[in-house]
Amino acid sequence: MAKFALQRIALSIPTLLAVFTLIFIIVRVIPGDPATAALGDYASQEAVEALRERMGLNEPIYVQYFDFIGGLLRGDLGRSLITSEPVIDQIRFALPHTVELAVAAILIGLVLGIPVGIVTAIYRNTFIDYVGRVLSLAGLSFPAFYLGILLLYFFSVRWGLFPTLGAGDFSDPVKNLHHLALPAISLGLIETAYIGRMTRSVMLNVLNDDFVRTARAKGLPEWAVLVRHAFRAALIPIVSLAGIFAISLIGSSVLTEVVFSRPGLGRMMVGSIRQRDYITVQSIMVVYAVIIVFINLLTDLIYGLVDPRVRY
């Protein structure tokens, strides 16, 4: 297992490098001058030129590239074009809010989605299954930010049960959870739809397997067949797909943070896009890339842990 883990970790380094390179290319090589874009069309020639100099845009492209990668290796993400503060400080503040939201949402998704998937698989083609499938397709079609607005409207505006804006400080867990509830539920419900649908199809596959028939034939009670045999086998694909969903969750969290004005990475990214702060946008993309590669790595490792065949 240790060797497998080391191999996987080593493999994620070239992936990260490729992702960083792509981010660099998208931000710099796509037509348009970031300095002009940052200052607007009516900025003076001198101001644009000064900003180009400060952003290092006057260097040859390969120098810029190595500066960028070199900075990342040193943990230096550059300074914001707007506030001139190191971007990393702002990210340190924002990241925990996003991680907290994502973890809460994926927990809700797993806790609700897996049972829904198992039940709809067992009662396949019955009314329960039909309702479950319609709801999960509706969930897949729900733009996360819109579900957030609906929850916000009913639970905060109409019934005043939850705060509408911001996030609670981490030092006050009750207030923090109170603020977390609605955004986490809105993302979690959509996650439930994905996980439920996927669990159902995985379970349907497993339920047709020979070993399930054997388990039934030897007289095991149905719950034991389902939980100890079928579900354990289904867990392997569920783990790897849950990783993919966790990644897509990061995407939906961006707008959810905007809707609920949570001070996380996503809202920071949208804010920097509005302010045309390309350095910050680029840095947040780098952080997202690291998170995504990390989730993939984690999924691989868990996969290796639950399924020994993967290790070879």
Closer CB to another protein, 162 or 288, in the complex: 288
| Interacting residues toward another protein by CB under 8 A | 15, 18-19, 22-23, 26-27, 30, 32, 37, 124, 133-134, 137-138, 140-143, 145-146, 149-150, 152-153, 157, 200-201, 204, 247-252, 254-255, 258-259, 269-270, 273-274, 281, 285, 288-289, 292-293, 296
The nearest distance, CB 242 to another protein, in angstroms, is 15
Instruction: Report the nearest approach of another protein to the CB of residue 113 (Å).
Output: 16
The whole-angstrom separation of Cα 75 and Cα 84 is: 17
Give the start-end residues of each E strand in the chain.
Answer: none
CB-based burial label for 39 (10 Å; 0-12, 13-18, 19+): middle
> Toward another protein, which CB reaches closer, 145 or 303?
145
Least Å distance between CB 142 and another protein? 6
Taking CA atoms, 290 is separated from 247, 286, 294, in Å, by 11, 6, 6
C-beta closer to another protein: residue 122 or 220: 122
| Cα(187)–Cα(101) distance, integer angstroms | 9
- What letter represents residue 6's amino acid? L
At closest approach, how far in Å is the CB of 61 from another protein? Answer: 16
DSSP β-bridge partners for residue 86: 79
Tokens 């390309």 — which residue?
A: 278
Cα 53 to Cα 214: distance, rounded to the nearest angstrom = 72
CB of 155 to another protein, least distance (A): 12
Closest CB 174 distance from another protein, rounded Å: 26
Calculate the CA 61 to chain-centre distance: 31
Between 31 and 219, name the residue whose CB sits nearer to another protein.
31
Cα–Cα distance between 178 and 186 in angstroms, integer? 14
235 vs 270, which CB is nearer to another protein?
Answer: 270
**Spatial separation of the C-alpha atoms in residues 251 and 266, rounded to whole Å:** 8
Whichever of 166 and 221 has its CB closer to another protein, that residue is 166
With contact defined as beta carbons under 8 Å apart, do 105 and 191 qualify?
yes
